[in-house]
Amino acid sequence: MFDIFRTDVGNRRRYGCTDSTLRLLVNQQGLWTIACYCAGNYLARHTLPPILHQMVMIPSHVWQKSVEMTTGISIPLDCTISPGPHIGHVGGIILRPGVKIGSDCNPSQGVTLGLGASKGIWGAPTLGIRVYVAPDAKVIGPVHLADGTVVGAKTVVIHSTSESDLVAGVPARVISDKGSGAYIR
């Protein structure tokens, strides 16, 4: 249930943070969002009698909305997030229901992963492994950001990428094939 949270805490420790888990949870608002997502996602998928399920989900939704209002990060419970996400900055991170995020991804502040259409097909983005999305970037529609992709600041992505692409601009275009190695710890 909390593999995603444990991996994120482990990653922060691996890169020099010596705070206790409780202190990290108090000080790191990105962890608030991950903990809330993990708990809510678990409760939403857990089989309970309908009335008990509703009674459990009400506090979960209240917690989710309070974290969303406090941090500016919106992660719906029906997103799929693999272990190791890193939300280092808060504010304006918006994920559309149905978004899929691979392990060790890093969405920065101001990022939107939103609903859109491509060639008449509606959908939400899918991020591969070790994808870095820089501040204020927008990824719209049923696009796939391949493993190691880097999306530059203020970029608008409406087409899928190849592995290790660095894309920038409006609309996004490939400017390098060096990948996310320098952007993700």
Q: pTM for this structure?
A: 0.88
Question: Quick check: 165 pLDDT over 90?
Answer: yes
Strands 166-168 and 173-176, how do they pair? antiparallel
pLDDT in tens, 100-142: 999 999 999 999 999 999 888 999 999 999 999 999 999 999 9
Lowest mean pLDDT segment, chosen from 36-50, 123-137, 162-176: 36-50
pLDDT in tens, 91-109: 899 999 999 999 999 999 9
Question: Quick check: 16 pLDDT over 80?
Answer: no
**Residue, of 100 and 86, whose pLDDT is higher:** 100
Q: Which CATH architecture has domain 3-176?
A: 3 Solenoid (2.160)
**Cβ atoms of 94 and 113 closer than 8 Å:** yes
Residue 12's pLDDT is 76
Spatial separation of the C-alpha atoms in residues 158 and 114, rounded to whole Å? 10
